[in-house]
Structure 1
Amino acid sequence: MNKTLLILFTLLLGSNWIYAQRPSGERIKTLKVAYITERINLTSKEAQSFWPIYNDFEEKKQVLRRKERVELRAQIESIGNLSSEESSSLLDKHLAIQKEKYNLEQNFISKIKNVITHKKTLLLLKAEEDFKKRLIQQYRKHRENK
């Protein structure tokens, strides 16, 4: 545990260097990996199986976010100009994307719970939420200081 905390501390101290060297998304991903690893206390054996599954899930989730942004949000901006049929079609697309998100997460959890314990799976879900909250707090704090 202390070794993991030392690694996390080193990563956080090096975040300025990471920021200067990598795009923002890569920096966030690096910090998220360190945060999740520390929070769920992965063994090296678990990590070997866990990260490929998790990274695949994250990539697929990102594709769905892009799809949602492109197919829905752009059209919702002009909602006043949509016909009844276009509105119905847009609503159907929204429901289909939400169903894809649900199926993706369900598939991910069924895979990951075979790699790590159920308790660690729940800790992962909590760690992701906590990381997201911290990221938003840091963003707001940074914006206020400007």
Structure 2
Amino acid sequence: MIMNRRLLIVFVFLMGINWFYAQRPAKDRIKALKVAYLTEQLSLTKEEAQQFWPVYNEHEDALEDIRKKERQQFGSRFEDMSNVSENEAAKMIDRYINLQAEKLEIENEFIKGLQGVIPSKKVIQLFRAENNFKKRLLQQYRKRQGGG
């Protein structure tokens, strides 16, 4: 009887969490899952987490700004390259190179900033954890799309 009651409570709790996440935009749900996953994978202490997340979030915001620039500059208007002159294409390449350089600078600053916050070993673990999270996310997406 007690076991059934506990099972019911756990089930209701999980359904509540599921409902809560279903109400939030997908981007927010993914971010919450990523935060939980990275925290677990890195075994961040409370002190490390307090210093880590502001640095990490600032980095994510900077990368999102770069992605916005990429979408603006290289969006759908350049899908049909038959209407783009050689001069325009050369300018696109220059802008692309500049954005890549900006990205590299952001990554370098991020890594240096992290090294002052968490041990270098955890910085390396972060890279692996982020890649694993992306793989899992893609697998889940494919599964839901019926692609295996």
Alignment of 1:87-102 (within 5 A): 87-102=89-104
1:115 aligned residue: 117
Q: Is the 8 A contact 1:15 1:27 kept in 2?
A: no
- SS of corresponding position for 2:75: helix
Segments of structure 2 that go 5 or more residues without pairing to the other structure are 1-13
- Deviation readout 1:67-119 (Å, 9 max, x if unpaired): 10110133431311111110000000111111111111111000001100000
Q: Which runs of 4+ in 1 moved over 4 A?
A: 12-15
Q: Is the 8 A contact 1:18 1:27 kept in 2?
A: no
**Structure 1 residue 21: Cα displacement:** 2.2
Alignment of 1:1-146 (within 5 A): 16-144=18-146
Over aligned residues, Cα RMSD in angstroms?
1.7
**Structure 1 residue 15: Cα displacement:** 5.5
Segments of structure 1 that go 5 or more residues without pairing to the other structure are 1-11
TM-score for the superposition, normalised by structure 2: 0.85
TM-score for the superposition, normalised by structure 1: 0.86
**2:139 aligned partner, one-letter code:** Q
The verdict on how the C-alpha distance between 1:97 and 1:122 changes in structure 2, with shifts beyond 3 A counting, is same
For 2:15 and 2:118, locate their aligned partners in 1 and report how far apart those are by CA, in whole Å. Answer: 29
- SS of corresponding position for 2:63: helix
